[in-house]
């Protein structure tokens, strides 16, 4: 045999020729600059069905792009064996192949049916929470298509131009649903008519997704490594179709309006809106629109704690790993303590949940997070006393849906400002819905996961950064040594 199998390859061992089939090719780029080619990556397999990821760096990639194609078999020599990349791998393997302009590639024309056609490492929906914002190994999922949207254009935080976007909803064998958001050219790689015109259940296999969350709703998002397969010839597809054979699902086309209306840059404010009106709003028509809502606060919740370690650039929650704080967008960052409160408010027409972040949460309770840290018995999962005073208070809120919420299909309104209501709006509180009067302590149908702290609050001057760190991080914590901005 004049070539080796992929399992024979080792780090620091002089490579010998390998004969492999290319199963998948993709161009690795960054979201903020998709025209900047970082590398040309591809997934290869040998006749023993061993698989490995291969890469050609961006400056050498143009030499190989014309000669490489999916499904073809190649004899490859003069390559290097290296450790896998830190992020965006499609395999849970330690090694990868790296080609350069010195490498030799020759296409072999032979019967390639002995090679596999696909490779997937499917993750069950119940295990997806463990993959949130983890970029080391991308995620593969599979499911029956239930809904597909038309392609629209949206404005993303890290892009100066509108980006194409399509949403697809799939359902697995356990009847669990997952939303998959496709961006850029990936959104165009599948056409809605391919799905809608089929008379049978359509199974989509997604390779190379990132798992994200927004407002506690989990969803999958595409990246430059994402590939989509319609009814691939694999056992998982046959099992899904068999499961749904007696319960056929007709894929639904969800129509979205044009992006010019959806992403208007003009802001408008509607006065005297009620909870029922907010609940009936179509999210795609509300971007950049703010509403004034006067309502009673009947409960305050913070299931994951009333503050979190946020990125100082994008306010996304940081993940603590290997002694450092990491942002899923900006990598290693110094944490900034940010308050987050969920308010359950009620008026004559119903109840709704509002979210208050950062300065708006501090404004509501008339205390900064630094001042709250000065409380001796501070506990992330115990609401400080100033928050208790919010319950039964009546406020006028300026609320709206953020672009991220609309993209994720969520109708959780964010508080952009709050004031004490005018006399006329306060008078309406006498008609408070239900049996609880305004002067009584209202209750909420969803009890808070936090307890209210009743200790006497003393409000000394705001502590220094060093004092904040000592209060929040125990002596043995690595976080104690970090500067809190």
DSSP string, 30-55: BTTBTTS--EEEEEEE-TT--EEEEE
For CA atoms 350, 254, 227, 247, the dihedral sign is positive
Question: What H or E segment, with its residue span, contains residue 278?
Answer: helix 275-279
Distance CA 165, CA 160 (A): 15
Work out the end-to-end distance of the chain between its first and last CA atoms, rounded to an integer number of angstroms: 62
Most confident of 108-122, 367-381, 390-404, 423-437: 108-122
Instruction: Provide the 3-class DSSP secondary structure of residue 211.
Output: strand
Q: In this structure, are residues 28 and 40 in contact, taking their beta carbons and an 8 Å threshold? A: yes
For residue 434, what pLDDT band results from cuts at 50, 70 and 90? very low
Distance CA 203, CA 206 (A): 10
Of 176-180, 255-259, 398-402, 469-473, the range with the lowest mean pLDDT is 255-259
416, two tokens: 């952009």
Triad 237, 90, 161: Cα angle to 5°: 100
Cβ count near 413 (within 10 Å): 25
Statement: residue 43 has pLDDT above 90 = yes
Check residues 77 and 334 and name the one with the higher pLDDT: 77
Distance CA 27, CA 242 (A): 35
Statement: residue 436 has pLDDT above 90 = no
Instruction: Provide the 3-class DSSP secondary structure of residue 313.
Output: coil
Distance CA 166, CA 153 (A): 9
- Which CATH architecture does the domain made up of 6-108 adopt? Beta Barrel (2.40)
pTM of the complete model = 0.57
Q: Where are the beta strands (DSSP E) in 348-412?
A: 350-357, 382-383, 394-400
Q: In this structure, are residues 414 and 355 in contact, taking their beta carbons and an 8 Å threshold? A: yes
Distance CA 328, CA 349 (A): 39
372, two tokens: 């709250």
Q: In this structure, are residues 95 and 83 in contact, taking their beta carbons and an 8 Å threshold? A: yes
Indicate the domain borders of the chain: 6-108, 125-254, 264-481
* Nearest of 414, 30, 78 to residue 215 by alpha carbon: 414
Of 295-309, 358-372, 394-408, the range with the lowest mean pLDDT is 394-408
What is the assigned CATH class of domain 264-481?
mainly beta
For residue 305, what pLDDT band results from cuts at 50, 70 and 90? confident
Distance CA 223, CA 206 (A): 11
- In this structure, whether the domain defined by 125-254 belongs to CATH 2.40.50.140 is answered with yes
By residue count, the chain amounts to 485
Query: In this predicted model, what pLDDT tens digit does every residue of 135-172 receive, in sequence order?
Result: 899 999 999 998 888 888 877 665 667 888 999 999 99
Same fold: 6-108 with 264-481: yes
For CA atoms 355, 360, 364, 367, the dihedral sign is positive
Distance CA 230, CA 354 (A): 40
Statement: residue 391 has pLDDT above 60 = yes
Q: In this structure, are residues 316 and 336 in contact, taking their beta carbons and an 8 Å threshold? A: no
Q: Where are the beta strands (DSSP E) in 259-357?
A: 268-273, 289-301, 307-310, 319-321, 324-327, 331-332, 336-347, 350-357
What pLDDT does 49 receive? 95
For residue 44, what pLDDT band results from cuts at 50, 70 and 90? very high
Q: Where are the beta strands (DSSP E) in 125-247?
A: 139-149, 152-155, 162-171, 177-183, 203-214, 217-221, 227-230
Distance of CA 455 to the CA centre of its chain: 38
Task: Tell me the average pLDDT of the chain.
Answer: 79
């Amino acid at each position: 045999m004049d070539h080796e199998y992929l399992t024979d390859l080792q780090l620091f061992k002089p490579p010998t020729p390998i004969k492999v089939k290319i199963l998948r090719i993709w161009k690795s780029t960054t979201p903020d600059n998709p025209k900047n080619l970082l590398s040309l990556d591809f997934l290869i397999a040998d006749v023993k069905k061993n698989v490995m990821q291969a890469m050609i760096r961006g400056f050498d990639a143009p030499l190989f792009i014309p000669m490489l194609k999916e499904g073809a078999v190649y004899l490859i020599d003069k390559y290097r064996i290296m450790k896998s990349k830190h992020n965006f791998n499609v395999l849970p393997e330690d090694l990868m192949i790296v080609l350069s302009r010195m490498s030799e590639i020759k296409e072999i024309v032979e019967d390639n049916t002995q090679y596999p056609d696909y490779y997937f490492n499917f993750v069950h929906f119940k295990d997806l929470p463990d993959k949130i914002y983890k970029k080391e190994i991308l995620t593969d999922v599979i499911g029956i298509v239930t809904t597909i949207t038309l392609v629209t254009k949206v404005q993303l935080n890290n892009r100066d131009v509108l980006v194409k976007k399509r949403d697809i909803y799939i359902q697995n064998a356990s009847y669990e649903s997952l939303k998959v958001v496709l961006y850029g050219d990936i959104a165009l790689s599948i056409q809605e008519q391919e799905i809608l015109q089929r008379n049978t259940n359509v199974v989509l296999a997604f390779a190379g997704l990132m798992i994200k969350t927004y407002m506690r709703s989990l969803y999958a998002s595409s990246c430059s490594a994402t590939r989509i397969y319609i009814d691939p010839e694999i056992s998982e597809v046959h099992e899904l179709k068999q499961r749904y054979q007696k319960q056929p699902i007709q894929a639904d086309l969800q129509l979205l309006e044009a992006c010019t209306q959806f992403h208007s840059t003009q802001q408008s404010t509607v006065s005297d809106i009620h909870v029922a009106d907010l609940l009936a709003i179509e999210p795609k028509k509300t971007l950049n629109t703010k509403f004034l809502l006067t309502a009673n606060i009947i409960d305050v919740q913070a299931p994951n704690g009333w503050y979190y370690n946020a990125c100082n650039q994008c306010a996304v929650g940081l993940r603590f790993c290997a002694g450092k704080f990491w942002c899923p967008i900006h990598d290693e960052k110094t944490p900034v303590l940010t308050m987050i409160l969920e308010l359950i408010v009620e008026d004559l027409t119903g109840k709704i949940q509002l979210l208050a972040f950062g300065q708006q949460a501090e404004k509501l309770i008339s205390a900064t997070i630094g001042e709250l840290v000065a409380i001796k018995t501070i506990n992330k999962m115990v609401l400080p006393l100033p928050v208790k005073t919010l319950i039964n208070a009546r406020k006028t809120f300026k609320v709206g849906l953020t672009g991220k919420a609309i993209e994720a299909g969520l109708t959780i309104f964010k508080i952009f400002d709050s004031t004490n209501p005018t006399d006329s709006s306060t008078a309406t509180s006498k008609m408070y819905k239900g049996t609880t009067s305004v002067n009584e302590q209202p209750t909420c149908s969803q009890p808070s996961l936090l307890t209210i702290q009743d200790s006497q609050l003393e409000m000394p001057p705001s502590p220094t950064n060093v004092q904040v760190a000592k209060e929040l991080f125990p002596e043995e914590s690595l976080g104690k040594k970090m500067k809190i901005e």
